[in-house]
Amino acid sequence: IHCSGHCLNLVICHSCILPEVRNMLDKLKNCSLFFQHSPKRNKLLELIVNKKLKDHPTKCKPLLQLCKTRWAERHNAYQHFYQSYTFIVEALEMIGHGSLFSDWDAENRSAAQQILSSITTFEFILVFLMAYQYLSHLSGITIQLQSSTLDIIEAHGMIKSIKVVYQRERENMEVGFKATLRPCCENGRPGRSYS
pLDDT in tens, 23-74: 998 999 899 999 988 999 989 888 888 888 776 655 556 676 665 555 556 7
Confidence band for 172, pLDDT divided at 50, 70 and 90 = confident
pLDDT of residue 73: 64
pLDDT in tens, 103-147: 788 899 999 999 999 999 999 998 898 888 777 777 777 667 767
Rounded Cα gap, residues 34 and 21, in angstroms: 20
Q: What are the backbone dihedrals phi and psi of residue 32, each rounded to the nearest 5 degrees, phi first?
A: -60, -45
Amino acid at residue number 175: V
Amino acid at residue number 4: S
Q: Model pTM greater than 0.75?
A: no
* Chain centroid offset of residue 145 CA: 22
**Residue 65 contacts by C-beta under 8 Å, 6 or more apart in sequence?**
32, 36, 77
**Number of neighbours of residue 83 by Cβ within 10 angstroms:** 20
Rounded Cα gap, residues 32 and 88, in angstroms: 10
* Inter-residue contact 134 to 170 (CB < 8 Å): no
Cβ-count burial 136-173 (b if 16+ within 10 Å, e if not): eebbebbeebbeeeeeeeebeebeeeeeeeeeeeeeee
pLDDT for 93 beyond 60: yes
Rounded Cα gap, residues 76 and 139, in angstroms: 9
Rounded Cα gap, residues 192 and 82, in angstroms: 7
Rounded Cα gap, residues 33 and 38, in angstroms: 8
